Amino acid sequence: MKLSGAASVLVALASASSALAFSAPSSSTSFVPSRSSTSSRAATFSRQAFSAPRQATSSRCSSAVSALKMGYTVGVVGATGAVGKEIVGCLEKSPIEVGKLRIFGSSRSAGSKRDTGFGEIEVELFDVDKARECDVVFLAVSGDFALEHAEKIAEGDDGAVVIDNSSAFRYNPKVPLVVPEINAEATKSAKLIANPNCTTAIALMALWPLHQLFKLKKVIVSTYQAASGAGQPGMDELWDQTKAVVNGEKDVADHEIFAHPLPFNVIPHIDKFQENGYTKEEMKVTWETRKICGLPDDFPVR
């Protein structure tokens, strides 16, 4: 049996990896929590996310205890990328007993070996059936890949719990969007779980307890997109072009990954502009805050 209760623990690792590979819009977004939002959902900083669901049946609790003792089989799809590497690193440091780590990749990386805290692991060519053999699968891949494969990996009682790090399912009303310290209970019956944008996850860790105590009226979020938001190629371009400018090889850096030169520059534009004048990257903070915190769809934005 695949244990969705474990997901409330493991989704935290995906949030942590997003924070480490930090990507946030160079913009200012303000939002105003509704005064009608309930205060009963007080934020807890206990070990809620590190326990089985309170409403679980005794047999499910027994299964959870047994699985914890034996260790989970955890799969990471895209583990050779920047975010995937961070997920593996978080797993190495986490209190979760990982009995077996499986790394899945493309034909380009399949067959290669990676040194991890769990020993040397050979990268397997991704296959849905192989991924379904795991208890929990992290997807550190594109949204298109997640849309194609995530539900297939999770479907049925014998499917894996899937924690998707892309934006593919964040706004799907049937898929919980989770920050464990805020809404871990949403994972109790879920086989597919979405991980929020890193800006949202980081901001809400501070804003949620403040909102519970004081009912915030207005918050202005100013964030800056890191080159790592574009993955390893983006980081490489920033590094290489910064050296080129500093060494006097170029007055203005070249650019292929980004729309404009990034070294010594700030680009006030991430993703497409929306009808309200904000970019999609900015609106993610508002949309995801509403969903995670259980705020109404008319949650005011200024």
Predicted pLDDT at 218: 77
Q: How far is CA 209 from the centre of its chain?
A: 21
- To which residue do tokens 């004048």 refer? 277
With a cut of 70, list the residues of the chain below it in pLDDT.
1-70, 300-302
pLDDT at 300: 63
Position 15 scores a pLDDT of: 55
Non-local CB neighbours of 298 within 8 Å, separated by 6+ positions: 34
Looking at residue 281, what is its pLDDT?
86
Contact 18, 195 (CB under 8 A): yes
Q: Nearest CA to 89 among 128, 301, 98?
A: 98
Q: Closest Cα to residue 120, out of 72, 83, 88, 73?
A: 88
Q: What pLDDT shows up at residue 52? A: 35
User: Quick one: pLDDT at residue 263?
Assistant: 94
pLDDT, residue 53, reads: 34
pTM of the predicted structure, to 2 decimals: 0.73
Distances (CA, A) of 180 to 22, 43, 100, 188, 200: 18, 10, 23, 11, 13
pLDDT computed for residue 282 by the predictor? 87
Instruction: Indicate the SS3 state at residue 257.
Output: coil
Q: What is the pLDDT of residue 220?
A: 82
Determine the pLDDT at residue 223: 81
Let me know: does 212 contact 42? Beta carbons within 8 Å.
yes
Look up tokens 């007055």; give the residue: 251
pLDDT value of residue 59: 38
d(CA 154, CA 187) in angstroms, rounded, equals 13
Which of these, 243, 95, 84, 223, lies nearest to 166 by C-alpha position? 84
Give the pLDDT score at 250. 93
* Cα gap 34→216, rounded to integer Å: 8
What is the reported pLDDT for 216?
78
Residue 265 exposed, middle or buried by CB count within 10 Å (0-12, 13-18, 19+):
exposed
Residue 10's pLDDT is: 55
Closest CA to 297 of 121, 98, 36, 44: 36
How far apart, in whole angstroms, are the C-alpha atoms of residue 16 and residue 261?
Answer: 29
Q: What per-residue confidence (pLDDT) applies to 25?
A: 39
| Residue 85 CB neighbour total at 10 angstroms | 20
